[in-house]
Amino acid sequence: MAAPSPTPFSRLFNSSVDARPTSLKTATILGPKLKSGETEQAHLRLLTSFKHLKFKASKEPPGLTQQLDNRKLESLTESENGCDLFEDLKHRFLRFKRRKFKENLDHFQNLAQGQAPKFMIIACADSRVCPSIILGFQPGEAFMVRNVANLVPTFESGPSETNAALEFAVNSLKVENILVIGHSCCGGIRALMSMEDEVDSSSFIRSWVVVGKNARLITKSAASNLSFDQQCRHCEKESVNHSLLNLLTYPWIEEKVAEGVLSLHGGYYDFIDCTFEKWTLDYKASNREKNSRFAVKNQFYWC
């Protein structure tokens, strides 16, 4: 049986069976109606057009060509740098998989079935403050939410990602401890201390940090003789205390604290000299009627 004739597509890429002269090939590429005599004219027209474009490009200012070349190089460098960043992340992930995941496979398989953390951490979004690094939390040990200035809005403030996380952690995961961590050089607290009495509603940051306005007022009153930087440091800790008070405005949190099944803690991480302060709200000894101050216990300073 004779082999079927090749399709036009296979003929286009099967050069080993195409022994036609080059000029005939060119005629086919330029169009099926070109004759061999017309092919040379087509070549001349192509060459003329190319020379015209080259001459036009040579008339451009030399600086423009250099600028275009520089932009191409900058774009290429940025692209390569971006690839390098993710290449580094890839190696970090693979190292985690090799050294952590595979070596603790049973633990991670248990986590795949569900989580039961003892802690909920509320920390700042600041890239210099990573609770898992500074406190050594391992996967499954702490449910975390991070926001600007580690603030907790009151129950009456309405829905936010922070109180949504609180509801899930307390009511579903049954965490036993909530730890609010403040830190040194907090930009969110600095924005809070810098803002005027009238909040700029067009700024998302100002509209958020106003949650800590009571801490700002107390700081202004108690530390008015200090420098602005010292006032900010004072407010970084004061805002943690007010976040602990705000936690008690959630009925299901206060109920569990009163029952003794949930504890509220404050923390302060100073990344300048790498120290950590920790304290616990003493619910029974606190005067909740004034809703401004509370007693603390179990204070520690780690250095």
Provide the annotated binding site for Zn(2+). Answer: 124, 126, 183, 186
| Residue 136 bridge partners (DSSP) | none
* CA distance to 73, 259, 261, 263, per residue, from 174 (Å): 55, 13, 9, 12
**127 CB contacts (<8 Å, ≥6 apart)?**
none
User: Which amino acid is present at 236?
Assistant: E
Burial class (CB in 10 A: 0-12, 13-18, 19+), 83: exposed
- Please say whether the beta carbons of 237 and 183 come within 8 A: no
| Residue 119 bridge partners (DSSP) | 142, 177
- Please say whether the beta carbons of 256 and 170 come within 8 A: yes
- Please say whether the beta carbons of 253 and 247 come within 8 A: yes
Looking up tokens 């306005």, which residue turns up?
213
Give binding residues as ranges. 124, 126, 183, 186
Burial class (CB in 10 A: 0-12, 13-18, 19+), 91: exposed
Listed residue (254, 265, 257, 259) closest to 296, CA to CA: 265
Q: Pairing relation of β-strands 275-282 and 177-183? A: unpaired
Element (H, E) at 180: strand 177-183
